[in-house]
Amino acid sequence: MMSLVPIDLTIVIPVLNEEKNIALCLDAIGKDFARRVVVIDSGSTDRTRKIAIDHGAEVIDFEWNGQFPKKRNWFLRNHTPSTSWVLFLDADEHLTDSFKKEASLVLSHSKKSGYWLNYTIHFLGSRLKGGYPLRKLALFRIGSGEYEEIAEERWSNLDMEIHEHPVLSGEIGMIKAPIDHRDDRGIDHYLAKHKDYASWEASRIRAAKANPSAFKRWTWKQKLKFHLSQSWMAGPVYFLGSYVLMGGFRDGSRGFVFALLKAAYFTQVYCKIRESLPVMRDESKR
């Protein structure tokens, strides 16, 4: 890879017990890409913290009080980077050489406020060729905004923003070169994680129905998910879209299972929303 001059960027990696992922994540960043690399640790009990320090990362401790802000916004407010840009990276996300090259070129002269990023998806040991693309708005200019505020009231024990998006002022671009999304913690962790996410998603949708003003700030994808998740069709629609329309069938059994698990996730969200509604009985039929 070409030699890089560190760009005016802080990379922030929120973690909790990520010893299986953090070393590879930090190795992929390298020593000469960003001016600052920060790991925000939520009290890991494994070797995560030591591995991060050994790799030269700065480690900051975080303890959530159950209120807003969560981990990413807390960092932006209490440890505001002196760099022009910040990239929030998960421990199972690996920067590719092509991404680093494109980001270096783009950010050196950019007037935009932030960038949508593209991610590969690895499942059951290999990269998926098809299915819905994974994109996140995770790279933005310091001072252009922060992650949306949601009054969570401890819907879950998730101390980090999950599906909240940054709300930015200004034009948004896209970096095409992908970041590799790899999680080496196995299928049990994958299933447990999405179970927690489903509970959070259902609670958020219930809260949004009670506060329509928040809905206005959402992206069109968020609005589509909001409406679809309240229908029993959410799971089947996702499966057909991912496996058939978006080419998940090209991955054979892995593509089928991946689409099926994602469909099950959206079905969980629907069931949790439905379960919270008042039970309606037709007394005349009793």
User: How far apart, in Å, are the Cα atoms of 191 and each of 99, 180, 194, 239, 265?
Assistant: 29, 20, 5, 17, 9
Q: Among 57-61, 136-140, 186-190, 246-250, whose mean pLDDT is lowest?
A: 186-190
d(CA 41, CA 64): 11
Q: Does residue 199 sit in the same domain as residue 96? A: no
User: What total of structural domains would you count in the chain?
Assistant: 2
Per-residue pLDDT tens over the stretch 201-260: 888 888 777 766 666 666 667 777 777 888 889 999 999 999 999 999 999 999 999 999
- What average pLDDT does the chain have? 88
Would the pLDDT of 135 be above 60?
Answer: yes
Tokens of 258: 């991946």
More confident residue, 64 or 154: 64
Proportion of the chain above pLDDT 90, given as a percent: 64
pLDDT tier at 280, thresholds 50, 70, 90: very low
CA distances from 279 to 52, 227, 274, 283 (A): 50, 21, 9, 12
Q: What is the pLDDT of residues 21-38, one digit of tens each?
A: 999 999 999 999 999 999
Q: Are residues 207 and 265 in the same domain?
A: yes
Select the more confidently predicted residue: 10 or 160: 10
For residue 83, the model assigns a pLDDT of 97
Same domain, 133 and 224: no
Domain boundary among 184, 218, 246: 184
- pLDDT higher than threshold 70 for residue 122: yes
Q: How many other CB atoms are found less than 10 A from the CB of residue 101?
A: 15
Please give the pLDDT value at position 183: 80
Q: Are 14 and 141 part of one and the same domain?
A: yes
**Is 204 in the same domain as 153?**
no
* CATH number for position 42: 3.90.550.10
- Residue 285, pLDDT above cutoff 80: no
What does the pLDDT read at residue 106? 96
pLDDT of residue 281 exceeding 70, the answer is no
- Is residue 223 located within the same domain as residue 107? no
Among the candidates 157, 184, 211, a domain finishes at: 184
Distance from C-alpha of 79 to C-alpha of 77, rounded to nearest angstrom: 6
Considering only CA atoms, which of 13, 263, 251 is closest in space to residue 123?
Answer: 251
Closest of 126, 265, 129, 125 to residue 186, by C-alpha = 125
Instruction: Kindly indicate the confidence band of residue 200, based on its pLDDT and cuts at 50, 70 and 90.
Output: confident
Given a cut of 60, whether residue 283 has pLDDT beyond it is: no
Of residues 44 and 65, more confidence is placed in 44
Q: Is there a single domain that holds both residue 218 and residue 172?
A: no
- For 200, residues 6+ apart whose C-beta sits below 8 A from its C-beta are 152, 155, 156, 158, 162, 163
Q: What pLDDT does residue 67 have?
A: 79
Task: Please indicate whether residue 161 or residue 131 has the higher confidence score (pLDDT).
Answer: 131
Structural domain of residue 178, as residue ranges? 7-184
- Report if residue 164 sits inside a domain: yes
145, 169, 184: which is the final residue of a domain?
184
pLDDT of 286 higher than 60: no
Cα-Cα-Cα-Cα torsion 180, 267, 69, 72, nearest 10 degrees, comes to 0
Distance CA 37, CA 25 (A): 11
Strands of the chain, DSSP E: 7-15, 34-41, 58-61, 85-88, 93-95, 114-123, 126-127, 134-141, 145-147, 166-168, 172-181
User: Phi then psi for 111, rounded to 5 degrees?
Assistant: -110, 0
- Domain-embedded: residue 231: yes
Burial of 74: CB neighbours in 10 Å, binned 0-12, 13-18, 19+: buried
What pTM was estimated for this model as a whole? 0.86
Which residue type occupies 47? R
* CA angle (76, 77, 82) in 5-degree steps: 60
pLDDT band at 141 (very low <50, low <70, confident <90, very high): very high
> Are residues 28 and 146 both part of a single domain?
yes
**Domain co-membership, 180 together with 207:** no
Say what the pLDDT of residue 215 is: 64
